[in-house]
């Protein structure tokens, strides 16, 4: 298959699948959705097989490209491409969607076919965001995700789902407005929306870059989320159904960090460099605040949700270091992104499984999981250990090397940030161990007394994530070898 067809197919297939799932209804719709998401994964993986050799110089050097006109007046072209920065995220998105659809096929909630259709629409938006090489297209794809996600929360969520969905929609919409202003400003000033050329030779003046990056940073900070723009996240995660939380934490947040790297660092490098330390300071605040708040949480899903604030703080610290010119920082952010997607996705699956069994997420009502449900407890232990950054599992590389990147940059500011981030690492361990102690250890709680052990379909859904957590931990090159060239091309200085 030629490149353009493959790339466009990657968006068209899940879109068609969404329509099919909604039309077929019932079990047939679910089966169709699962089959389509599997096909999407099959289309996504081969993108990484023949990688174009990394070209020298600054810019985006996609391995595969598609470029078709769409709305010329708006500078909107169907310009798609994949490189080392986007490829791991594309595969992760396709994988998580497949796991979620498969999980729905087993769990069968009410109107499951609609939920699966919405998940596929969300997948289209997320994949579009990661693949877009046109700024206007990027914005469109970024927006596509918003309403289906709000619908997933509002339609299948917990008791306070409507408020949470509304907050999510309004908050992220506010961010999108800023993004729109930024995109329009770039397009008007440079008369192009082509990310490849915009990145290779940023023609924006320094002042323009400063305020446009400011807009981008705010918009992406809402999505990532970066402290203090994070408060939509705990509500949304807590109320969302399991599959919603998995997609939300697993890949939706990554649109923010990916946007910062691709658009922020790519189009406005000088603006990024100017605000790097501020961004780093906010990221470290997020790490510390996120972990401290987690120490006080009493609800399982809320705790995991807040832990995302802390973990994404490490990713953002890496990006901040990258904004200051550190390739180590960007690579740490990329692998941190993937690791968080895998581990937090797994944690939300597990939290969902526990809540489905006990109908409570209160830590005080849980306990003794390892007594009767050793598999469930074992996988929870692995996910928690991975999440606290245990070396040998995926979470380690992003956190440790965000710190290394800050140390490498040197200077008082970055060194202080490195020290604080490392302390945040210890706090992360504190709350995750507290979680394990409350849920896994101690005598078996009455709520868990009659609960079932992990079932085979659940284990099938979790196994890929467990394997990935181990594989990326042992072979970080899986993510980083692919991205090394692209990151160097992004952090390289602007040609005079």
Partner 1 sequence: MTELLVLAPLLCGLVGLLVPMRNRPVAAALGIAGAAASLIAVVALLARGTTGEQARTWVGFGDLSVTLTSLLDTRALLVALAVAVVALCVQVYSNGYLHGDERYGPYAAQISIFTAAMLTVVCSGDLILLLVGWEVMGACSYLLIAHDRTLPEAPRAAVKAFLVTRVGDVGFLLGIALLGVHAGSFQLTKVLAAVPTMGTGTVTAAALLLLAGVFGKSAQFPLHTWLPDAMAGPTPISALIHAATMVAAGVYVVARLYPVFEAAPTARIVLGASAAITLLLGALAATAADDLKRVLAWSTVSQLGYMMAALSVGAIDAALFHLLAHAAFKALLFLGAGSVIHAVGSNLMSRMGALRRPMPWTFWTMTIGLGSLAGLPPLVGFFSKEAVVGSLHEQPALWTVALVGVALTAWYATRAWLRVFFGRGSEHTAHAHESSWWLRGPLVLLAIPSAGLGVGVLLTTSGLIHLDVAVLLPLVLAVLGVLAAWWGWRRADQGDPARVLGGVGPFLASGLGLDAVQDALVVRPVRALARAVTAIDTAGVDGAVNGLGRATVSAGGEVVAWHRAPLPRALAAVLLGAVVVTVTAVMFG
Give the residues lining the site for partner 1 (CB under 8 A): 167, 170-171, 227-228, 230-232, 288-289, 292-293, 295-296, 326-328, 331-332, 370-371, 374, 378, 381, 385, 390-392, 396-397, 400-401, 403-405, 407-408, 410, 418-419, 422-423, 425-427, 429-430, 433-434, 437, 441-442, 475-477, 480-481, 484, 487-488
Shortest approach of partner 1 to residue 413 CB, angstroms? Answer: 15
The three-class DSSP label of residue 466 is helix
**Which lies closer to partner 1 via its Cβ, residue 96 or residue 465?**
465
Shortest approach of partner 1 to residue 71 CB, angstroms? Answer: 33
**Best CA proximity match to 316, nearest among 256, 263, 267:** 256
Q: Are 176 and 143 in contact (CB under 8 A)?
A: yes
What are the helix and strand counts (H, E) for the chain? 23, 2
- Inter-helix orientation angle 300-323/269-296, to 10°: 160
**Which lies closer to partner 1 via its Cβ, residue 263 or residue 327?**
327
**Which lies closer to partner 1 via its Cβ, residue 195 or residue 377?**
377
**Best CA proximity match to 169, nearest among 239, 101, 116:** 239
**Which lies closer to partner 1 via its Cβ, residue 105 or residue 390?**
390
How many other C-beta atoms can be found within 10 angstroms of the C-beta atom of residue 45?
Answer: 14
Shortest approach of partner 1 to residue 433 CB, angstroms? Answer: 5
Shortest approach of partner 1 to residue 13 CB, angstroms? Answer: 33
**Which lies closer to partner 1 via its Cβ, residue 167 or residue 237?**
167
Shortest approach of partner 1 to residue 405 CB, angstroms? Answer: 8
**Which lies closer to partner 1 via its Cβ, residue 74 or residue 295?**
295
d(CA 298, CA 285): 22
**Which lies closer to partner 1 via its Cβ, residue 158 or residue 381?**
381
Shortest approach of partner 1 to residue 434 CB, angstroms? Answer: 7
d(CA 419, CA 429): 16
Shortest approach of partner 1 to residue 112 CB, angstroms? Answer: 32
DSSP secondary structure letters along 179-242: HHHHHHHHHHHHS--BHHHHHHS--S-HHHHHHHHHHHHHHHHHHTT-TTS-THHHHHHHHS-H
The three-class DSSP label of residue 141 is helix
């Amino acid at each position: 298959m030629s490149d353009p067809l493959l790339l466009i197919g990657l968006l068209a297939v899940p879109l068609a699948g969404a329509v099919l799932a909604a039309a077929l209804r019932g079990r047939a719709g679910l089966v169709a959705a699962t089959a389509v998401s599997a096909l999407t994964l099959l289309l996504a993986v081969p993108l990484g097989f023949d990688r174009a050799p990394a070209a020298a110089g600054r810019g985006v050097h996609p391995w595969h490209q598609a470029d078709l006109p769409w709305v010329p007046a708006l500078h909107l072209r169907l310009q798609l491409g994949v490189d080392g920065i986007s490829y791991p995220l594309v595969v992760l998105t396709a994988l998580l969607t497949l796991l979620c659809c498969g999980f729905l096929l087993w769990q069968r909630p009410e109107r499951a076919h609609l939920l699966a259709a919405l998940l596929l629409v969300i997948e289209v938006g997320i994949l579009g965001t990661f693949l877009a090489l046109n700024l206007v297209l990027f914005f469109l794809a970024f927006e596509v995700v918003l309403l289906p996600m709000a619908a997933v929360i509002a339609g299948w969520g917990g008791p306070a789902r409507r408020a949470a969905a509304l907050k999510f929609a309004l908050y992220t919409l506010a961010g999108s407005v800023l993004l729109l202003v930024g995109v329009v400003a770039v397009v008007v000033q440079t008369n192009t929306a082509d990310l490849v050329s915009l990145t290779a030779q940023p023609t924006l003046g320094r002042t323009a870059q400063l305020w446009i990056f400011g807009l981008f940073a705010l918009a992406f900070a809402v999505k990532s989320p970066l402290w203090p723009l994070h408060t939509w996240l705990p509500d949304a995660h807590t109320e969302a159904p399991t599959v919603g939380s998995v997609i939300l934490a697993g890949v939706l947040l990554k649109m923010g960090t990916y946007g910062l790297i691709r658009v922020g660092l790519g189009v406005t490098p000088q603006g990024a460099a100017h605000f790097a330390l501020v961004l780093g300071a906010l990221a470290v605040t997020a790490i510390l605040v996120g972990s401290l708040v987690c120490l006080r949480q009493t609800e399982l899903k809320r705790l995991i949700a807040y832990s995302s604030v802390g973990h994404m703080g490490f990713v953002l610290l890496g990006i901040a270091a990258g904004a200051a010119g550190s390739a180590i920082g960007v690579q740490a952010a990329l692998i941190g992104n993937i690791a968080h997607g895998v581990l937090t996705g797994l944690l939300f699956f597990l939290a969902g499984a526990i809540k489905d069994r006990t109908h409570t997420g209160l830590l005080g009502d849980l306990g003794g999981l390892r007594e009767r449900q050793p598999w469930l407890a074992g996988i929870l232990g692995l996910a928690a250990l991975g999440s606290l950054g245990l070396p040998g599992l995926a979470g380690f590389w992003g956190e440790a090397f965000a710190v290394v990147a800050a140390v490498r940059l040197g200077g008082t500011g970055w060194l202080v940030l490195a020290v604080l981030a490392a302390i945040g690492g210890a706090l992360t361990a504190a709350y995750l161990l507290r979680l394990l102690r409350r849920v896994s250890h101690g005598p078996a709680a009455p709520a868990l007394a009659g609960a079932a052990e992990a079932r085979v379909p659940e284990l099938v859904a979790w196994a890929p994530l467990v394997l990935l957590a181990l594989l990326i931990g042992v072979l970080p090159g899986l993510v980083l070898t692919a991205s090394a060239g692209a990151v160097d091309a992004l952090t390289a200085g602007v040609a005079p």
